[in-house]
Amino acid sequence: MTRLLYTDILAGFLLISAICHILFPNIVGRWLANPGAVRLIGGLLLLLAIPCLWWRGWYFWTLFALLLVSGIWRLCFPRNSIRAQERTYPRWVHGCIMLGGAALVWALRP
């Protein structure tokens, strides 16, 4: 039961973030140009990775690895993360990627 609740919460966070990136790219872009905000998100991602350590299986190990790498990158190298996001693709594309991630987290849940 807790596993399903965890995956629903994670998918919900991804969905809300994706919608904000798609509908309000300028506002999100301004907020995420701040290294402090990027570090905060990195810390949140690392906190979200912790429960995956208690549960076994490919699903939770994959989630743990993805959240860990993404969290460390944002927490330890926020300026690099900001530059990469700004140069690679527009904010709304990142929103579409997160929307796909939310769908996968929800659809593949154990």
Structure tokens at 12: 């919900």
Predicted confidence (pLDDT) per residue in 15-73, tens digit: 999 999 999 999 998 999 999 999 999 999 999 999 999 998 999 999 999 999 999 99
Q: Indicate whether 11 pLDDT > 90.
A: yes
Predicted confidence (pLDDT) per residue in 76-106, tens digit: 999 999 998 888 888 889 999 999 999 999 9
- Residues spanned by the domain of 59: 2-107
Q: Enumerate residues 6+ apart whose C-beta is below 8 A from 76.
A: 42
Residue type, 35: P
Helix (H, G, I), strand (E, B) or coil at 58: helix
- Other beta carbons within 10 angstroms of residue 8's beta carbon come to 13
| Tally of structural domains, the chain | 1
Q: What pLDDT sits at residue 110?
A: 80
Q: What pLDDT sits at residue 70?
A: 95
Q: Enumerate residues 6+ apart whose C-beta is below 8 A from 45.
A: 67, 68, 70, 71, 74, 75
